[in-house]
Amino acid sequence: MELDAIDRSILTELQRDARVPNVQLAERVGLSPSACSRRVDALEKSGIVRGYHARLSSKALGHPIVVIVYITLEGQSVAQLADFEAAVKKCPNVLVCYLMSGESDYLLRVAAQDLEDYERIHKEWLSSMPGVARMTSSFALREVINRPSVEIGSFA
């Protein structure tokens, strides 16, 4: 789907406030409500809009510790990658998991209540995942920026 200026405006507004009523969204982007609704539907069907979510605070929910974990597997066969990925999806404390190029195979962002909780997650979940050869953990001291998305204008 090729995005025009109106589509980019709709996406920008939805990123600011995904709960904006369609009538207000239409006013902001200069469309009729029905035309705006059709555009939003098309953006959803194309996969550009993947969903609408509330951004929750892990800290406020009792998980203030953020750990970045680099994991290297014993091998990189399709089966080994699939086994690890199936296991990591089951760990409720893993917020993000990326397959990486470079020195490590995976990068995880893990939320924990405190150091003891991370030790439990490490023992019960991470180190017992299939194929794990090495893990390196780094603790985030402070969140500097956490953007939920990128600027729409960069996709012109």
Give the pLDDT score at 156: 45
Give the pLDDT score at 152: 82
For residue 31, the domain's CATH number is 1.10.10.10
Crossing angle for the helix pair 22-29 and 5-16, to the nearest 10 degrees: 130
Q: How far is CA 61 from CA 66, 113, 142, in A?
A: 13, 9, 17
- pTM score > 0.85 for this model? no
For residue 84, the domain's CATH number is 3.30.70.920
- pLDDT digit string, tens, across residues 87-108: 999 999 999 999 999 999 999 9
Residue 153 domain flag: no
Shared domain check, 39 and 76:
no
Q: What range does the domain containing 83 cover?
A: 65-139
Shared domain check, 104 and 41:
no
Structural domain tally of the chain? Answer: 2
